[in-house]
Amino acid sequence: MSVVIVGGGHGGASVAMELRRNGYSEPITIVGDEAVLPYQRPPLSKAWLKGEVDESGLTLRPLQWYVANNVTLRLGTRVQSIDRDRRCVTLADGATLQFSSLVIATGARARCLTMPGANLDGILMLRTMLDADRLKQSMRAGANIVIVGGGYVGLETAASARALGANVTVVEREARVLARVACMPLSKFFTEVHVSHAVTFELNASVVRFVGDTHVRGIELADGRILSCDAAVVGVGAIPNDELAQACGIACADGIVVDAHARTSDPHVFAIGDVTRRPLERYDRQVRLESVPNALEQAKHAAAAICGTAVPPAEVPWFWSDQYDLKLQIAGLAFDCQEIVVRGDMATRKFSLFHLKGDVVEAVEAVNAPVDFMFGKGLIARRLPIVKEKLADAAVPIRETLA
Amino acid sequence: MPKITYVSHDGVRRTIDLKEGLSVMEGAIHNSVPGIDAECGGACACATCHVLVDREWTDKVGPPSDMERNMLQFASEVGPTSRLSCQIRATKELDGLVVHTPTSQQSAF
């Protein structure tokens, strides 16, 4: 009996912790391709870039924890293949590891651009601590940084770069930032915040070429303009690392397909985190969620299934983002919503947007409004109907908005 | 280094050395002290690192910020000395601090 965990990120380490918390006493091995102890990625675009935390501040557990809990770390190497019949994995160095249960937590990788010049020096991504280190070196005061992609990675990086005194332009293909992940009013709000911090936006703009000899000097847009820069940051989405699973015949569909308890199509193989496509019962659909809370929820489910302990409760998906002095917290997903109720005044930078289907909240986006977020998360889980007029009136205590 | 003692709901005491500047939440996580989940990693975004500060230490630790106080409404077993441990940083003055962890970090509604 033993568990092998493929992937040494937040999800992989969390499975090991949950297994031990559930009383699992057999050997556990984590195989990770980064050479450092499992760490938190969310601060990379925020506190880490700004130099507010060091490596020990990102590390999830110190080395002693793994030693004391009989969790073997095989870091700086990767799993080459999975043999489901023999229940073993082969590592890059040829070693094989037997498992009774396998957990795939390989995450996602940053999508690369392929236009001419995309391989020049100074074109940076943000996924790992090494990426973030390279980025940090480019973000000197007065440096010109172009960020390609106005998603969370792009906007958080923009906020950190401004804090460090760099000049920032964000280039976004869509007509608004956060187009895939936030509603129109929230996109508009964040654009205005960044503009007030002197970030320049190029919306509806596509990059056709990176300019430079060996190091990037500029970005050419489809309209022919060239934005000069000292470094470019590309944050245009992520691709699930599901190739290992595909290669051994585990069902995949833009991510490893799992059930609500993180089981793949093979009963001995689990998968968790960004690499999975998972059911969301609350919304009656399959989704791929790129977030820490999602990985932690699935880690609990995988560990409970392996140990045969009680099934953990289903959670409402949630996300957060810190930019400047703003804390954005999102609960739920706004599928097919008919109406947005604004609670609070957006001009005060403390408000929340409730997405409704009828009088039931499906999602909430809260800016500097943690109470609305926490209560909204509870409303979503319980499908409790609310009174719209009360919800829209910030003077009515949130607990009194129930129908 | 300041010493921090965590007392679990069933009375087990665990004392750790915490580097100045790190949070009481980080001290718990780095030393595998049970009873603190800290899902958001210290962003004051999830209310799963709730502790009750021992009464002898409440003055030195001080009160929560407005945002923290608001988040605490959604923690379980909240009392007058409740804090989110990600928001308490170790200082020389807090050497000897005692905090109590609740039975659950499950959020209340």
pLDDT at residue number A73: 98
- pLDDT for A403 equals 93
Q: Which pLDDT value is given to residue A1? A: 86
ipTM surpassing 0.90: no
Considering only CB atoms, which chain A residues are within 8 Å of B46? 293
Please report the pLDDT score of residue B30 as a whole number.
Answer: 83
- Is residue A110 within 8 A of residue A235, CB to CB? The reply is yes
* Closest by Cα among A50, A53, A54, A52 to A164: A50
- Helix (H) or strand (E) run with residue A307 in it: helix A292-307
Average pLDDT along chain A: 96
User: Nearest CA of chain A to the CA of B106: how many Å?
Assistant: 10
* pLDDT tens sequence across A151-174: 999 999 999 999 999 999 999 999
Chain B nearest CA to A293, separation (Å)? 7
Within a 10 A sphere around the Cβ of A392, how many other Cβ atoms? 15
Query: Taking 80 as the threshold, does the pLDDT of residue A84 lie above it?
Result: yes
Å between B39 CA and nearest CA of chain A: 7
DSSP secondary structure, A162-184, as one string: HHTT-EEEEE-SSSSTTTTTS-H
- Where does residue B42 rank: exposed (0-12), middle (13-18), buried (19+ CB within 10 A)? buried
pLDDT > 70: what percent of chain A?
A: 100
The CATH number linked to B38 is 3.10.20.30
Of B29, B30, B74, the CB nearest to A374: B74
Answer whether residue B84 is part of any domain: yes
Contact at 8 Å (CB) between B23 and B87? yes
Compare CB distances from B43 to A60, A320, A374 and report the shortest one's residue: A320
Using the structure block, give the residue that is written with the tokens 């965990």: A5
- Does B105 fall in a domain? no
Q: What is the pLDDT of residues A264-293, one digit of tens each?
A: 999 999 999 999 999 999 999 999 999 999
Tell me whether residue B92 is in a domain.
yes
Are A320 and B45 a contacting pair at CB < 8 A?
yes
* pLDDT at residue B41 is higher than 80: no
Sort A165 into a burial class: Cβ within 10 Å, 0-12 / 13-18 / 19+.
exposed
* pLDDT mean over A314-343: 94
Asked whether the beta carbons of residue B30 and residue A292 sit closer than 8 angstroms, the reply is no
Helices A184-196, A152-163: crossing angle, 10 deg rounding: 20
Is the pLDDT confidence value at B43 over 80? no
| Residues A29-49, mean pLDDT to the nearest whole number | 94
pLDDT tens track for A359-403? 999 999 999 998 899 999 999 999 999 999 999 999 999 989 999
The arrangement of strands across the sheet holding A101-104 comes to: A71-75, A28-32, A3-6, A101-104, A269-271
- DSSP secondary structure, A232-279, as one string: EEE---EEE--HHHHHTT--BSSSEE--TTSB-SSTTEEE-GGGEEEE
Tens of pLDDT, residue by residue over A180-210, are 899 999 999 999 999 999 999 999 999 999 9
In Å, how far is B71's CA from the nearest CA of chain A? 6
- Answer whether A292 sits within 8 Å of B39, measured CB to CB: yes
pLDDT of residue A149: 97
Q: Residue B45: pLDDT above 80?
A: no
DSSP A58-69: HBSS-HHHHHHT
Tell me which of A16-25, A246-255, B23-32 is least confident: B23-32
Q: In this complex, do A65 and B41 lie within 8 Å of one another by their Cβ atoms? A: no
CB contact under 8 A, B73 and A40: no
Cα nearest neighbour of B39 on chain A: A293
Q: Is A349 helix (H, G, I), strand (E, B) or coil?
A: coil
- Choose the closest CB to B71 out of A42, A322, A370: A370
The reply to whether B108 falls in a domain is no
Q: State yes or no: pLDDT of B42 exceeds 80.
A: no
Phi, psi angles (nearest 5°) of residue A93 = -90, 10
Query: Is B12 part of a structural domain of the chain?
Result: yes
What's residue B70's pLDDT? 86
The tokens of A21 are what? 């918390």
Q: Does A332 touch chain B (CB under 8 A)?
A: no
Which DSSP string corresponds to A15-56? HHHHHHHTT--S-EEEEESSSS--B-SGGGGTTTTTTSS-HH
Mutation target among B73, B89, B106 for the A interface, most CBs of A within 10 A? B73
C-alpha–C-alpha distance, residues A82 and A245, integer Å: 8
Domain that holds residue B33: 3-100
Looking at residue B46, what is its pLDDT?
83
Do A371 and B70 make contact, defined as CB atoms within 8 angstroms? yes
pLDDT above 90 for B66: no
* Residue B64 in domain: yes
Its pTM stands at 0.93
Higher-pLDDT residue of A221, B38: A221
Q: What is the pLDDT of residue B106?
A: 81
pLDDT at position B107 over 90: no
Number of domains in chain B: 1
Of A40, A68, A377, which has the smallest distance from its Cβ to B41's Cβ? Answer: A40
Q: Are A290 and A309 in contact (CB under 8 A)?
A: no
Cα dihedral across residues A347, A351, A353, A358: positive or negative = negative
pLDDT (mean) for A212-226: 97
Q: For residue A324, is it left (φ>0), alpha (ψ between -120 and 50) or beta?
A: left
Please report whether residue B106 resides in a domain: no
**Which of A296, A374, A383 is the best residue to mutate to test the B interface, defined by the most B CB atoms within 10 Å of its own CB?**
A374
Decide if A331 contacts A363 (C-beta within 8 A).
yes
B13 domain residue, yes or no: yes
Three-class DSSP category at A148: strand
pLDDT of residue B29: 86
